[in-house]
Structure formats: C-alpha cells, structure tokens
Amino acid sequence: MTLRVLRGAAAAVMTLAATAAAAQSWPAKSVRIIVPFGTGGGTDIQGRLLGKKFFESMGQTFVVDNRAGAGGMLGAELAAKSPPDGYTLLFTTASLAVGPSLYKKLGFDPVRDLAPVSWVSSVPLVLAIHPSVPAKSVKDLVALAKARKGQMNAASNGSGTTSHLTLELLKQTAGIQVAHIPYKGGGPATTAVLSGEVDFVFTTILSVYPQVKAGRLRALGVSTLRPVELLPDLPTIASSGVPDFEAVQWYGIVAPARTPPEVIALLNTEVNGALGTPAMKARLDSEGAEPVPSTPEAFGALIAREIARWRPVIEQARMRPE
C-alpha cells in the first residue's frame, strides 16, 4: 500500500470520526429552521410548533427563518445550498414536489440536494361550492361543468399551489373545462366563493369548515381517499364518480444533503415523539392537519412519488409560475 493511499485512508477515517463526534454533540448551538413562506400561515405555525418542541426536548433554540418567494423555492434553494452540518433545516410543503416541473431553471434538485428527515402532517382539501350552484354532488358538478362548456370558474389559493393543482387534476380526470381564478391564499379564495364571484374552490378543510357548518357554502367532497374527522359524512371525490382521485397538502422536514445520518436519525425520532404528544395532536387538529409519523425513507419516497405524479398534470395544464 502506497503512502498516498495510507494518507487518504487516514484522512477518511478522521473525517468520519469528526462527523460522528459532531453528530453526538449535536445540537451544540441554535439551529435555523427555514420556512419558505411568510409568517402566520400553516407552514409557519407548524414549523414554530416543532421548533418549540425541539427546544423543550434538546435544550437548544430552533429559530424560524421565514424566506418567502417563488412558491417556496427561494427558501428551499437556500436550505439546499447551506452547510450540511445539521444547523440548517427546511420545514416545507408539497410545493417542494411542484417546483421541479413548474420552474424551468430551478437552482437545486429536491431529491439530490436535500435529505428527507420526516413527514410531519397532511391536510385534506375540500371541494366547496356557492349554494346558488345547482349541484348536490361531485357528479352533479361535473355534469353541470360539461353542460356549461367552460362557462364555470373556480378559485384557488394561488397559481402553482396544491389548491390549483387539485383543480387541474379534477379538470383532467373528469374531462371538464373550468376557468381558473387564482387568489393570494385560502382566505381570499374562500371569500370569493362566499360572495358568488366564483363557483367553487378546492381549499383546506379549516378554511371552509365554519362556512360549511353555517350553510354559507356547500361541501361536495374531500380530496383524500377516506373521509375526514371534521366532516365525517362528506364523501370522498374518489367515491363520487372520479376514481382514484387523491390530493393532499403535506408538510415535512428536510436538511441539506450529506447532513450526518446520526443527526437525521435523531431529528426523525424527535419529530415522531412530538407528533405523539396530546398537545401536538390537539394543535394540529385545530389547524385541520393530521399527524403523519414516518421514517426518512418513507418521506423521501413520498417526495419522489409526488414529483412524478404532478409533472404530467402541470405539463398538460401548461402551468407557469407567476
């Protein structure tokens, strides 16, 4: 064995030893959690909840850094290009799986440049219509949209959002033409339906639940494959004439690629532990979210699956970022 090979082997052993030691002492200082959206939204709320739980269990501060822009891609790219030392994390959403197909020149690869830590939660979407729309079911709405041939319109939480993608999925799978009207968030989109400005919307269950219970909106179906607890009598869209229809807004944590596996494993344990606490479950329930404990591998598989799943929908709809 040559001296060069020996030196290379020794350097590799020293690097591994240093990485292991760093992971064992992690976190030795405050950790940044990048949230790629503004303050006050569902992503920000859940990111801060987990940061608080991490502080309680690990004794170090986890600081939320809101970096909104480009549909969540600005913050995601910042995380992907951060040092893989465990001191930068990204609390992200389903937008991470949309970016590769929506943006032609994305500055990072979500699968290659980010390491999955854990799935955290899922939020179902509800198809809700204005009471004046003469449809009592998803089948009725599809038939009405076909009869009106492009004269109906639908709101979304914004172009490229899960709300928009779910609308496009319905249009493509049910074979209907509906004009898309984007708004800046679930609140404005729901308000537009309430006022009769648009006919219907796909939005999170929490956004429409009070209006549905009060009779100001009519819910026709939920986007998950099984009914949801808040509206147990609401049928799934998949069981209402659109087979296999499924779409959810999901949340999870990733880190820069090559973050020490010991850190990833510890974080995953901490996330799953937090999701199992009554306080965390109650708080997520108040946000209309369902906790989803997982392994890093399961979350990584979800991201890859979602990227592949939404690509043809985005391409067929010719969606572009705004």
Amino acid code (one letter) for 288: G
Amino acid code (one letter) for 42: G
The residues, ordered by sequence, that sit 6+ positions from 98 with a Cβ below 8 Å of its Cβ are 71, 160, 162, 165, 310, 314
- Total domains in the chain come to 2
243 within domain boundaries: no
Under a CB-based contact definition with an 8 Å cutoff, are residues 226 and 62 in contact?
no
- Per the DSSP assignment, residues forming a β-bridge with 291 are 121
Q: Is the pLDDT of residue 42 over 90?
A: no
Amino acid code (one letter) for 154: A
Q: How confident is the model at residue 288 (pLDDT cuts 50, 70, 90)?
A: confident
Q: Determine which of 6-10, 28-32, 50-54 has the lowest per-residue pLDDT on average.
A: 6-10
**Based on the domain organization, do 114 and 200 belong to the same domain?**
no
The number of CA neighbours under 13 Å toward the Cβ of 137 is: 11
Instruction: Give the pLDDT score at 10.
Output: 46
277 within domain boundaries: yes
Phi, psi of 28 (to 5 degrees): -95, -5
More confident residue, 21 or 187: 187
285 within domain boundaries: yes
229 within domain boundaries: no
Tokens of 217: 């909106």
**Based on the domain organization, do 112 and 152 belong to the same domain?**
no
**Based on the domain organization, do 313 and 303 belong to the same domain?**
yes
**Based on the domain organization, do 16 and 116 belong to the same domain?**
yes
Distance CA(186)–CA(290), nearest Å, equals 18
pLDDT digit string (tens) for 83-124? 999 999 999 999 999 999 999 889 999 999 999 999 999 999
pLDDT digit string (tens) for 185-242? 888 999 999 999 999 999 988 889 999 999 999 999 999 999 998 899 999 999 999 9
**Based on the domain organization, do 156 and 255 belong to the same domain?**
no
Distance CA(4)–CA(12), nearest Å, equals 12
**Based on the domain organization, do 153 and 265 belong to the same domain?**
no
Query: Kind and range of the H or E element at 171?
Result: helix 162-174
- Per the DSSP assignment, residues forming a β-bridge with 119 are 252
**Based on the domain organization, do 115 and 26 belong to the same domain?**
yes
211 within domain boundaries: yes
**Based on the domain organization, do 118 and 260 belong to the same domain?**
yes
The residues, ordered by sequence, that sit 6+ positions from 81 with a Cβ below 8 Å of its Cβ are 107, 108, 113, 256
**Based on the domain organization, do 272 and 295 belong to the same domain?**
yes
Q: How confident is the model at residue 2 (pLDDT cuts 50, 70, 90)?
A: low
Under a CB-based contact definition with an 8 Å cutoff, are residues 130 and 219 in contact?
no
Q: Residues 255, 260, 265, CA angle at the centre, nearest 5°?
A: 75
Mean residue pLDDT of the chain comes to: 91
Distance CA(170)–CA(165), nearest Å, equals 9
Torsional sign, CA 30, 74, 118, 227: positive
Q: Which of 287, 235, 262 is nearest to 120 (CA)?
A: 287
Distance CA(92)–CA(127), nearest Å, equals 24
59 within domain boundaries: yes
The residues, ordered by sequence, that sit 6+ positions from 37 with a Cβ below 8 Å of its Cβ are 43, 44, 66, 68, 72, 75, 93
**Domain-terminating residue out of 205, 222, 239:** 222
End-to-end CA distance of the chain: 59
**Based on the domain organization, do 7 and 117 belong to the same domain?**
yes
For residue 156, give the CATH number of its domain.
3.40.190.10
195 within domain boundaries: yes
**Based on the domain organization, do 174 and 257 belong to the same domain?**
no
**Based on the domain organization, do 100 and 24 belong to the same domain?**
yes
Q: How confident is the model at residue 23 (pLDDT cuts 50, 70, 90)?
A: low
Indicate the pairing of strand 218-222 with strand 88-93: unpaired
* Dihedral class, residue 318 (left if φ above 0, else alpha if ψ from -120 to 50, else beta): left
**Domain-terminating residue out of 222, 237, 264:** 222
Q: Is the pLDDT of residue 18 over 60?
A: no
Instruction: Give the pLDDT score at 137.
Output: 97
Q: How confident is the model at residue 21 (pLDDT cuts 50, 70, 90)?
A: low
For residue 303, give the CATH number of its domain.
3.40.190.150
278 within domain boundaries: yes
- pLDDT mean over 44-54: 94
Q: Which domain holds residue 206?
A: 124-222
